[in-house]
Structure 1
Amino acid sequence: MIGNSESLSDTLQLAARAAGAILREGYHAAGAIDFESKGASDFVTHYDRAAENAIIDTIRRAHPDVGFLGEETGATPARDGEITVIIDPLDGTNNFLHRVPHFSVSIAVREGDALTHGVVYQPLLDEMLWAERDQGTYRGEQRITAPPARALHEMLVATCLPYHAKGDCPTSLSQMADLMPRVAGIRAPGSAALEIAYAGIGRFDAFWSQGARLELWDIAAGIVIAREAGCTVTDLTGNPAPTEWTSLLVAHPERHDELREAIRSGEPASPTGQA
């Protein structure tokens, strides 16, 4: 571990707040935000870059030997050890650009092959969700655990949908069609880090995605938060630690297998809407 009087979790939260202040300024700025295209429906703004730089600078001052994997700045190897900070400075860029108030700062830590820390910060709400391996999940200073499982037909499920050239639309639509008759609702708000974390603390009953193309920085922090809150997190084959996350399912342990089968089975729902 890192030898420093300031804990890594504290530093990650400070970094998220620094980035969040930049994003709040951009969100409330008058007039249109200038942006440039990085590819099909994938936009980078001045605020993405400024927020990521603020995160790196804050963490590097306290923990100079860590490495970084950032959506905007790419990979910087660790000077000593195997600790890598994984950064999405603005998860929900399209929402940000369109003035939809649902986006987040997402920061995770990977030690070797294991995800150990996660921070997801919603700057407009000033809400900090964070977790550390074997230490639980917190909203600010309050420890949060997943609420009791709801029946499948009562569940509100979140997802990310593919768009333009990013992902597999037929797979995503097929899986959504499997779930639609079985659950109380499906939502795709547009910030995977938030939706995964919200599944952990019970604002959503589950999160799944396969057709959308999610990068590690989109999901890593949320995975730690959801797991430490008590959720089961795997890919859709049931693997809790795949080499590459090409699919994702986050749910209460009592509903995880049932949801996984519902997504993959394609069987019709019962007349009452219950599985």
Structure 2
Amino acid sequence: MISISANLNIMIKAAEKASKSVIRDFGEVEKLQVSKKGPFDFVTKTDKHVEKILIEELSKIKKNYSFITEETGIIKNIDKENIWIIDPIDGTTNFLHGIPHFAICIALQSKDEIVSGLIFDPIKDEMFFAEKDKGAFLNNQRLRVSKKNSIDECLFSSNHEGVKFSDLNMRYSGCAALDLAYVASGRLDGFFHNNINLWDVAAGEIMIKEAGGIVNDIHKFEVNKIDIKASSAAINSKMLENLVNF
């Protein structure tokens, strides 16, 4: 049995509660694809509704913690050293088009360090989570990064700009959080992206580190202008060589 902290337990429960409305609304998106209004306004409401649930659930136990969220921004409470970082739906464009590849993301930052992270894919029912010095897990199974050390055998992910820049074997999934979770689980070997938001990568950063991978220092950047390069330990130096001008 895995031992998890009280904080991670709250995060899991909050994500599970919020996922119910995400799954229900995702079922409605297909109907809206063919309507004149389209699904955009509907998805924006889902985003805000999910964020509201997460804030409410996390605040029930930790009333004084602060927040950084995608929709609301910074919420300063009494405790400014402990901060919940939330992305209610990472991969909103996928969600909008009825593509089942998106995630609910929650991380906890304590004294400028990410100490726990959760990435929940509600459609595939995959709960990725990690805590500092306790390892990374997928649905209670321990995660380890890939051990492949030949770059030609590796698979990397990025956004549109990263895919255009690199001649590596690339994928572009539209969900940075799941890309990072997939690096932690060995499905992908590396991920890189410039000018990305903290809420997209905070949970994935600790997940990859706890799964034995390497992530550059994301805390030296502004919260909405982060350049991240993350990979397995085995391929990190070769990936960075390939990205020297990125």
State TM-score, norm by structure 2: 0.89
The answer for the alignment partner of 1:66 in structure 2 is: 65
Cα-to-partner distance string for 1:25-84 (whole Å, 9 max, x where unaligned): 111126216434xxxxxx961110111011111111121111111111111113235100
Give the Cα–Cα distance (whole angstroms) in 2 for the partners of residues 138 and 114 of structure 1: 19
How big is each residue's C-alpha offset from its partner over 1:124-152, in whole Å with a ceiling of 9 and x where there is no partner? 01110000111110112222122323310
Partner of 2:221: 243
CA contact (8 A) 1:146 1:252 kept: yes
2:170 corresponds, among 178, 186, 190, to: 186
| In structure 1, distance between residues paired with 2:58 and 2:171 | 34
| Equivalent-residue separation in structure 2 for 1:58 and 1:145 (angstroms) | 30
Identity among equivalent positions (%) equals 30
1:31 counterpart residue number: 31
Tell me if the contact between 1:130 and 1:225 (Cα under 8 Å) persists in the aligned partners. Answer: yes
The separation in 1 between residues aligned to 2:226 and 2:143, in whole angstroms, is 28
State the partner residue of 1:20. 19
2:165 alignment partner in structure 1:
175
Is 1:157 the counterpart of 2:156 in the alignment?
Answer: yes
CA shift for structure 1 position 241: 4.2
2:35 aligns with none
Equivalent position of 1:260 in the other structure: 240
2:203: which partner in 1?
A: 221
Greater Rg, structure 1 or structure 2?
Answer: 1
**Secondary structure of the residue that 2:221 maps to in structure 1?**
coil
Does residue 132 of structure 2 align to residue 123 of structure 1? no
CA distance in 2, matches of 1:103, 1:118: 16
Q: Counterpart of 2:101 in 1: which secondary structure?
A: coil
**Structure 1 residues 201 and 262, CA gap change in structure 2 (3 angstroms):** same
Return the match for 1:195 from 179, 189, 213: 179
Q: Which consecutive residues of structure 2, in runs of 5 or more, have no partner in the other structure?
A: 33-37
- More helix per residue: 2
Aligned equivalents of 2:77, 2:136: Cα separation in 1: 26
TM-superposed deviation, 1:255 = 1.4
Identify the residue that residue 104 of structure 2 maps to in structure 1. Answer: 105
Partners of 1:34 and 1:46 within 8 A in 2: no
- Structure 1 CA distance for aligned equivalents of residues 245 and 220 of structure 2: 22
- In the aligned structure 2, how far is the partner of 1:241 from the partner of 1:55? 24
Q: CA deviation at 1:246?
A: 3.1
- Confirm or deny: 8 A CA contact 1:160 1:209 kept in the other structure: yes
TM-score, structure 1 length as denominator?
0.80
Off by >4 Å, runs of 4+ in structure 1: none
Contact 1:107 1:120 in 2 (8 A): yes
What is the one-letter code of the residue matched to 2:236?
Answer: H
- Verify the 8 A CA contact 1:116 1:133 in the aligned structure 2: yes
The CA distance in 2 between the partners of 1:35 and 1:265, in whole Å, is 36
Q: Which amino acid aligns with 1:197?
A: A
* Superposed CA RMSD: 2.1
Moved more, 254-263 or 86-95: 254-263
Offset of residue 100 of structure 1: 0.7
Please state whether the residue corresponding to 2:15 is helix, strand or coil: helix
Contact 1:146/1:230 (CA < 8 Å) preserved in 2? yes
Question: Which residue, out of 192, 200, 205, partners 1:208?
Answer: 192
Shift of residue 218, structure 1, vs aligned partner: 0.8
On the 8 A contact 2:157/2:163 being kept in 1, the answer is no
